Amino acid sequence: MPAPGESLVRVKLAALCNTDLEIIRGYKKFQGILGHEFVGEVEESGNSALVGKRVGGDINIGCGACLLCKRGLKNHCPHRRVPGIQDKDGTFAEYITLPEQNLYPVPDRVADEEAVLAEPLAAALEVTSQVHLHPASRVAVIGDGKLSYLVTQVLSLTGCDLTVVGKHRDKMAGLREFARTAFLEEVKISPRFDTIVECTGNEQGLQLAGELVRPRGTIVLKSTYAGEPKINPAAWVVKEITLVGSRCGPLDGALRLLEKKQVHVHPLLGRRYSLADYRTAFSTRHQLKPVFDPIL
């Protein structure tokens, strides 16, 4: 049942991402229904303009009353709820509820299969609101997974001098359209990049970020870390590095990029599974690709 101010949304598609797998490994100690990437259709809402609309959702639900919420920082509300991540059931379900103000209509030109990835695309877009990138910026993205694929495309729109460091041949081939690629084992270790966007979520990626960033450069941490990376930040202190944590981003901006076909997400979509088949989806080796379809 939707709470006051919430809408009832029938989930059309929900995607499984690395964060879901990290949560299973213990990140956030969340218990409940997983899933936070979705596209759905509003069935009930106090806002009649939303009823029947296809929507994506901003997943951070602030309390609305604390100092941070009042300053427009609901994503950092200490009492926030996040479907499938914190204190609220997620999107691997037939229905979810979300506050009206968290719902964003999906433009007609955006297919369900694109809209389901608006949330991670918004997270990729967040980098551009945190770090000023311009055509003269030398930028490296570390990692070649889903998040890296989205971050690389978004950053390439700035015209910056972009390199992706990764290790999977097939994924790197797909990234070559948007950036220079360098395989991990061949990458020249020298502190030459103004900005590094770390998308691996592992210790090796973090270590490499510290080695590739120039003195007084910036490392953007775009991944969550389930373990506890053993990194001595002394070298970062000496290089006077700026560290930027980066999480969720603007869903409306992501939907605009999808509407204008400025970002491609289809290569990230894999097999579809019905909700009843969730065990297969979670246990598959292509863990970043399953898309759930609750209506099958």
Binding site for Zn ion (CB under 5 A): 17, 19, 62-63, 66, 69, 77
Distance between CA atoms of 296 and 10, rounded to whole angstroms?
Answer: 13
Residue 111 token pair: 């297919």
Judged by beta carbon, residue 20 or residue 194, the one nearer Zn ion is 20
Write down the least CB distance from residue 87 to Zn ion, Å: 13
Write down the least CB distance from residue 27 to Zn ion, Å: 12
Judged by beta carbon, residue 24 or residue 63, the one nearer Zn ion is 63
**Residues in Cβ contact with 44 at an 8 Å cutoff, skipping those fewer than 6 apart:** 2, 7, 8, 51
Which residues make beta-bridge pairs with 97? 8
Write down the least CB distance from residue 218 to Zn ion, Å: 23
DSSP label at 65?
S
Residue 214's region, left for phi above 0, alpha for psi from -120 to 50, else beta, is beta
Q: Are strands 95-99 and 6-15 parallel, antiparallel or unpaired?
A: antiparallel
Judged by beta carbon, residue 37 or residue 194, the one nearer Zn ion is 37
Write down the least CB distance from residue 180 to Zn ion, Å: 27
Judged by beta carbon, residue 17 or residue 197, the one nearer Zn ion is 17
Write down the least CB distance from residue 14 to Zn ion, Å: 10
Closest by CA position to 199, among listed 127, 265, 129: 127
Residue 124 token pair: 């990729």
Judged by beta carbon, residue 164 or residue 288, the one nearer Zn ion is 288
Residue with the shortest CB distance to Zn ion:
77
Distance between CA atoms of 38 and 119, rounded to whole angstroms?
Answer: 8
